[in-house]
Each structure stands twice: as structure tokens, then as C-alpha cells.
Copies of this chain bind each other. A is one copy, B any other.
Amino acid sequence: MSVKLALIGAGRIANVHADAIVASRDARLVAVTDAIPAAAESLAARSGARVMSPDEIAADKDITGVLVCTPTDTHADLIEKFAKAGKHVFCEKPVDLDLARAEQVVAIAAGAGVKLMLGFNRRYDPNFAAARKVIDAGRIGNVEMVTITSRDPGAPDISYASRSGGIFRDMTIHDLDMARFLLGEEPVWVSAHASVLVKPELSDIGDSDSVTVILETASGKQAVITNSRRATYGYDQRIEVHGALGVVDVANHHENTLRIGGADGYTTAPLMNFFMTRYLASYAGEIAEFIACIKEDRAPKTTGADGVIALKLANACVASVAGGRRIAV
């Protein structure tokens, strides 16, 4: 029997998720809602879903899960609303920029007995997931040092940046979750540096564009994250995990596999330049996970609690930069 789902929001990422649901043999997209009626109607038309209001979706007995794909500041209220209505909830990160509110809605979802899955999509990237399996299989021994490089092709608009919670809560948070995923042990100390090298206007709103973070676990494992809001060569997304017996890394995705040689040397293509192209498989993977955990009645691999921990780490980064100190988490 198909899992019946509704999309809350009909923007860019909602359309990506709609494709994944339509392609699934285990789910059906039955409803979509959006503050902009035309957006909802367009998505509905091409996917076979109906346009409904949020209240209608909450009240619909057939719908077992919703995907919250709306602006960040609406996440908490929508999770609360649909959790109380008994719907399983998939939500794009973050739950909320305010830690207390995020913890509150995680508790609400738990109390309501529904699943709350958070969209840390990168864990579902086939290559990063394969790296985790290599670690689990013991091929590199005890994990000692994790290196995560993540650079965006360009800086966000100031209007977006000012609502985003800052680079640590908006961009680094994905890498903080990835560090947890790869370390296999919780970080207890955080040191961070941040500066503005790319977009001077970010200084005016107290944000940064170039940051480095060290995470350390209780047993002394370390993870290093470097982020930049600029990379002329494309969307730079790499991990490396060094262990007692070896090392595993995941390379970047280039636009093609050509190599051209000439008098000036050999040239290969730049990196895929857009997160939705680079992470296409991971977006499909997270939707498959949401459907599967509903079908199999099990907890998702990335929960609201993971969102809370990542937010705490991001907050620690902010505090470390401000205080010039290593911060205990």
C-alpha cells in the first residue's frame, strides 16, 4: 500500500521532492499547498496531486506524512501543527534557528508519536554513505581525523543571509552534521575562526564568508571543516576520514569526464556548480528514506534531534569566534 504524502510549500526544493515521490513505487503525492496559489497549482498539475489548504491536509485521514519545504521561520510552527495532527513530518533543516524552540518542537513530535525527519540530505549521498560503510566495515580502523571541505560557488544575497542565522547555522551546519556522521562520536569541544574575504557587506550584518572549525570528541578524535562562500571552480564538496589503518576520501563531481591535453598541460572540467545537481541522488535518497521509515515504522536516520545537536554545534562555533575560546558542547 502506498504512503500518501503532502507537500507543504511548492518552491524549488518541493519540486525536487515531488519528482522523487512520483518516481517512488511506495508513495503517492496526494496534496500540495503553498502561500502562492499558482505555484501550488503548477506543481499539482504536473504531479497528479490536489491543491489543498494546510488545514485540509492536517485533517485528511489518508495523508500519513508531510514534507515541510517552506521558509525557515515557518518550520517550527508547521512541524508542531502537523505533528499534533498525527502526520509524520519531513522538514528541511533547520527545525528553527532558536535552540529552545527547536528542542520544543522535537519534544512535541516525540510526544505525538510521529516521526520527525530532518533533511540532512548529504548523509544519503551514495558516495558519502559508501564512505560510512567503509568505516563501519573496519577498513580504515578507528577513526582519528576527519577533514571536510565545503565551498559554495558564490555568496548569498544579503537579504537571504540576514535571515539565515549566519554562515555557521546556514552552511556549516551541513558539515557539522557530516562530521558527526563520520566521526561516529559526539564532538565535545569546538574552536572556530571566521572572516569576511568574499563579500564585504556581510560584515554589516555580523556574518562571515570564510570559516574554519575544529571539533574534538571526548576520546580526542578531531574533525576540521573549512567553508568558503566562493569557489570559481564549482561547488566544492569533499570529505576525508583518516583512521588507524587507513584513509578514505570522496572526490568532487566534475561536469564531465573529459581531459584535454595541449602545450599548457591537461585540463579537466570544473565541478558541478549547483547543489541540486551535485546532490541529486542524495535528495532522492532522503525522500526514499522518509517513505521507507513510514512504511517500515522505524526511526529515520536523520531526526529532529540531529538538527538540535547540529544547531548546538553551530551556536558553539559562533561563541568560539566571539569569545576567542574553545567552547564545550
Interface status of A140 (Cβ within 8 A of chain B): yes
Contacts of A220 in B (CB 8 A): 195-197, 210
Point out the residues of chain B lying under 8 angstroms from A139, CB to CB: 260, 262
Residues of B within 8 A of A224 (CB): 212, 224, 226
Chain B residues positioned under 8 Å from A231 (CB to CB):
242, 247
Binary CB contact string for chain A from 183 to 226 against chain B (1 if under 8 A, 0 otherwise): 00000010101011110000000000011101010011110101
User: Which residues in B have their C-beta under 8 angstroms from that of A269?
Assistant: 265-266
- Contact across chains for A131 and B258 when beta carbons are under 8 A apart: yes
**Is there contact, CB below 8 Å, between B151 and A149?**
no
* Contact among B197, B257, B267, B268 with A221 in the assembled complex (CB-CB below 8 Å): B197
A229 to chain B, nearest CB (A): 10
In the assembled complex, A312 has its CB within 8 A of some CB on chain B: no
* With A144-B230, A256-B126: A261-B244 Cβ-Cβ less than 8 Å: no
- Let me know if A324 is at the binding interface, CB within 8 A: yes
Interface code A215-251, partner B: CB below 8 Å = 1, 0 otherwise?
0100111101010101111001000001011111111
Q: Which residues of B contact A212 (CB under 8 A)?
A: 145, 214, 222, 224
Contact of B195 with A222 in the complex, beta carbons under 8 Å: yes
Closest-by-CB residue of B relative to A244 is B230
Q: What separation, in Å, do the CA atoms of A326 and B324 have in the docked complex?
A: 5
Is A12 in contact with chain B by the CB < 8 A criterion? no
From A142, which residue of chain B is reached at the shortest CB distance?
B197
Alpha-carbon distance between A139 and B268 when the two chains are bound, in angstroms: 13
* CB-based contact B195/A193 at 8 Å: no
Given contacts A145-B212, A224-B212, contact A262 B245 (CB under 8 A): yes
Q: Are B246 and A222 in contact (CB under 8 A)?
A: no
A232-B245 contact given A189-B193, A197-B221, A267-B267, CB 8 Å threshold: yes
> Is A325 part of the contact surface with B, judged by Cβ < 8 Å?
yes
Answer yes or no: A130 CB below 8 A from chain B CBs.
yes
**Looking across the interface, which residue of chain B has its beta carbon closest to that of A230?**
B244
Are B268 and A266 closer than 8 Å at their CB atoms?
yes
Known: A233-B266, A260-B247. A193 touches B210 (CB 8 A): no
Other contacts beyond A224-B226, A233-B246: 5, CB < 8 A: A144-B197, A189-B193, A232-B261, A248-B260, A250-B257
| 20 CB < 8 A contacts A-B | A127-B257, A127-B258, A134-B260, A140-B260, A144-B228, A147-B147, A193-B216, A195-B222, A210-B222, A224-B224, A230-B244, A232-B247, A232-B263, A233-B247, A233-B265, A246-B261, A247-B261, A250-B258, A250-B259, A266-B267
